[in-house]
Amino acid sequence: MATSAPWVIIAGQRHTITPGLTLRQLLQQQGQLDSSADNPVAIAAVNGRLASLAEPLWGEEKIRLIHLNEPEASSTSARTVAFVLAVAAEQLFPGLPLWFDFSYGTGIYCNLDRREPLTAVELGRLEDRMRELVAQDLLITRQTFGLGELMRMQHGAAEAPRFGVARYIRRESINLNKMQDANYLFYGRLLPSTGYVRTFKLLLESPGFVLLTGVKGEPDRLPQFSPQPKLLATMRDYDRWLRTIGVKDIGRLNQYIVEGRAAELIQVCEGRHSQVFVRAAEQIAALPAKGRLVVVAGPSSSGKTSFAKRLQVHLRVLGFKPFAISLDDYFVDREETPRSDDGDYDYEALGAIRLDLFNEHLERLIAGDGVHLPRYDFETGKSERQEVATRLQQGQPLIVEGIHALNPRLTEAIAPQFKLRAYVSALCHMNIDQASYIRTSYTRLFRRIVRDAQFRGYTASETLARWPKVRAGEELHIFPYQNNADIFFNSGLAYELAVLKLWAEPRLAAVEPDDPYYGLARTLIELLTLLLPIDASQVPPTSLLREFIGGSGFHY
């Protein structure tokens, strides 16, 4: 009995294919592949999953073509620029690994692994070489390597193996990208050729530099960049620490787990967190006895609440009795709440807070006056005045936690010398290899997926749907003020993704192929497959991670 020829559907049209034909080859046959076009086809969604044009087709796939100017292509576009940079660095500085360390502001912080920092002249040569590679419109091809072959290729290399993560991947092969006439191999989805790259810039930030790529949805426009020295110092300090304890990348993290040293790693990471709380409590104790105000800000799922609770414990060790108030109780009545562009109440806007009342209460509390604090009722959307007045003793620390805590307007009634401002975020970058890393925002997203499922009854799809709006609010209300902080607390834990994996993976796997967030869910699952798991029972009850997975010694 004859069988019909394999087919795919693109934009509602059915096309017969030969199994194994790549999307690139199919588009070439149709004359739809042109890197010089204003808005060329860049990647595709194959059955809802984002894929490069090097993806082989086997039949019965539904394909949506995605053009370069579409937001969905932005991460692939940025990764391709990084690939061009990696090849240029390999050619100009052979034998010196270039590390793509972490996201920094609107760019990526990179560092050439040598004692002397890059000079401005060398950085200029590197950028010029990148432009030459782009101008040549060199083909980028995908190659499949058996894991054994890949390990043999890396064995005996002078530098640390670039694909140490491959040793623990539970499949027999891995796809890597190669540029025509270049031996450099690269992990991740890339554009078809270097000619698709529209713009980039290298900025010296000694000892490394910052790579800027096109704005999301506008690949030919560079984002504005503002140096953030406090943030960079925190990130670089964490990066040095990871190298010191030997967990610079996922391959080395997996090695810890394989060797049965996960408990040791957890203890070391938790010990590092404890040091921060000890120092912070001492800084608060050093504030003038006339007033001690602690404000804590940070983006979603950064662990602000756990930071505040653990800080209170360490203040009690020093003999203080800290008192915390919630910004939520200072919401304006619901009908007065500002609305976002989509018409919903915008509780994240500063205008949703009764600033005058809040500052008045801060002043009076620090002065030792009795204050009838408000309590906001989320059911009625109104505040009620508490009957019993609250009065602080002189020098009693007052802790305020919320997204606007670093905005000067929130606490403008209190003089700076009486305040300690803390910024909390999961700045826990983790390299896959020297050229690829897991974004710090993904750590927070994994936390939120797990917490939403555990305590709020949300599916992973519902969490993913809310995430873009959450991120937009962070860009507007939190990140512009982070440099106002006196303390930068990196709430990330080097081991946490290996724990979150067991909780997040099944939730993400439940996202159906016809769901609009299926592609992102698959991307997150693919990242988790690189990690070996750690049993959550080894995580102590005082850990900040317990805020998200449950079993905390604190009450939330």
Q: What is the pLDDT of residue 164?
A: 65
Average pLDDT over residues 367-374: 94
Average pLDDT over residues 417-445: 89
Other CB atoms within 10 A of residue 452 CB: 20
Q: Which two structure tokens, joined as six digits, stand for 199?
A: 């713009």
Mean pLDDT for all residues in the chain: 91
Range with the lowest mean pLDDT among 166-175, 208-217, 249-258, 356-365?
166-175
What is the tens place of the pLDDT at every residue in 256-288? 999 999 999 999 999 999 999 999 999 999 999
Average pLDDT over residues 174-202: 87
**CATH class for domain 74-227?**
alpha beta
pLDDT band at 379; cut points 50, 70, 90: confident
Q: What is the pLDDT of residue 462?
A: 96
- pLDDT exceeds 50 at position 2: no
pLDDT band at 4; cut points 50, 70, 90: confident
Q: What is the pLDDT of residue 1?
A: 43
Q: What is the pLDDT of residue 362?
A: 95
Residue with tokens 């009486």: 418
- pLDDT exceeds 70 at position 195: yes
| Secondary structure (3-state) at 395 | coil
What is the tens place of the pLDDT at every residue in 70-89? 999 999 999 999 999 999 99
Q: Are 489 and 422 in contact (CB under 8 A)?
A: yes
| Secondary structure (3-state) at 66 | strand
Q: What is the pLDDT of residue 177?
A: 85
Q: How far apart are CA 304 and CA 554, in angstroms?
A: 13
Fold that domain 234-322+396-549 belongs to in CATH: Rossmann fold (3.40.50)
What is the tens place of the pLDDT at every residue in 8-28? 999 889 999 999 999 999 999
- pLDDT exceeds 80 at position 152: no
Average pLDDT over residues 370-385: 92
pLDDT band at 159; cut points 50, 70, 90: very low
Q: Are 231 and 238 in contact (CB under 8 A)?
A: no
What is the tens place of the pLDDT at every residue in 524-533? 998 999 899 9
First to last CA, the chain: 65
DSSP assignment of 199-245 equals -EEEEEETTEEEEEEPBTTBTTSPPP----HHHHHHHHHHHHHHHHH
Reported in sequence order, the residue ranges of 430-500 that DSSP labels E, i.e. its strands, are 430-433, 436-438, 487-490
Q: Which CATH superfamily is domain 7-67 in?
A: Beta-grasp domain (3.10.20.30)
Q: How far apart are CA 137 and CA 396, in angstroms?
A: 65
Q: What is the pLDDT of residue 95?
A: 86
Output the pTM of the full model.
0.89
Q: What is the pLDDT of residue 513?
A: 86
Average pLDDT over residues 188-201: 95
| Residue percentage of the chain with pLDDT more than 90 | 72
Q: How many CA atoms lie within 13 A of 66 on its CB side?
A: 23
pLDDT band at 301; cut points 50, 70, 90: very high
Residue with tokens 């894991």: 147
Q: How far apart are CA 6 and CA 64, in angstroms?
A: 18
Average pLDDT over residues 395-405: 93
What is the tens place of the pLDDT at every residue in 46-79? 988 889 999 899 988 999 999 999 999 999 999 9
Domain ranges of the chain: 7-67, 74-227, 234-322+396-549
- pLDDT exceeds 80 at position 386: yes
Q: How many residues would you count in the chain?
A: 556
Q: What is the DSSP letter of 175?
A: E
Q: What is the pLDDT of residue 162?
A: 60
